Amino acid sequence: MFAGHGSGSTLRRFDTSDFPLANAVLIRISPQSPFLRSKAPLMLIEIERKFLVAEPAWQNLYTSRERLRDGLIAATEGLKVRVRLYENRATLAVKTKQVGFTRAEYEYEIPMDEGEQLLALHCGNTKLVKTRYYVPYRGFTWEVDVYEEILSGVILAEVELSRADVDLPLPPWIGREVTGEPEYKKINMLKARLAPTA
């Protein structure tokens, strides 16, 4: 998820000569950016807010959806590397520590079979399955994640912003904001579900 989505941004694809750690990298940038004519690396800034979902009205409002599987490969001091399997592509996502609503993110495309191997062999019990629904509301696209399997019953909504101080109109079906709350981070939700019961 990248700032600038839906506002004229585009994806540029690079081969392995640009980035030796992956077959390709997807970078979302403005069509006016000089980076379209350059191979210089670019930091991507992710600005998002996360909310609980209060009621099911969104289910009649989404415009598209996709099923995702992902798993945590490595994490240290707020830095994370995840493998993500979308319906027809796989990526490695590298995220820095979040400060407020903001963090840097890089997402590198890899072959589907390599993504399947990474998920199966190197993610342990951090594997997650969810369906993501895209719900427009007053100029913003909300991503509603409905989790399955180990996190069945969890529904969270996220929205991407161009700036941290954007005046965000909240849909009537949205609930309490949980941005930055540790208990709503994926790894902590997993730990809570996997913890032995008394």
Q: Report yes or no on 149 lying in a domain.
A: yes
- The pLDDT tens digits for 42-67 are 457 889 999 999 999 999 999 999 99
Distance CA 60, CA 126 (A): 31
The answer to the question of residue 182 being in a domain is yes
**Would you state the pLDDT for residue 109?**
94
Tell me how far apart the alpha carbons of residues 139 and 141 are, in angstroms, rounded to a whole number.
7
Contact 34, 60 (CB under 8 A): no
- The CATH number of residue 106's host domain is 2.40.320.10
* 105 φ, ψ (degrees, to nearest 5): -145, 140
Residue matched to tokens 């798993």: 71
Residue 5 lies in a domain: no
For 105-164, how does the pLDDT look when each residue is reduced to its tens digit (9 = 90+)? Answer: 899 999 999 999 999 999 999 999 999 999 999 999 999 999 999 999 999 999 999 988
Residue 4 lies in a domain: no
- Indicate the number of domains in the chain: 1
Is residue 187 one of the residues assigned to a domain?
yes
Residue 2 counted as domain residue: no
* pTM of the shown model: 0.75
| Nearest of 106, 115, 160, 154 to residue 131 by alpha carbon | 154
Three-state DSSP class for residue 188: helix
Q: Does 3 fall in a domain? A: no
Say if 80 falls within a structural domain: yes
Q: What is the pLDDT of residues 129-145, one digit of tens each?
A: 999 999 999 999 999 99
Domain span at 72:
10-194
Is the pLDDT at 33 greater than 70? The verdict is no
Give the Cα separation of 172 and 54 in Å (integer): 8
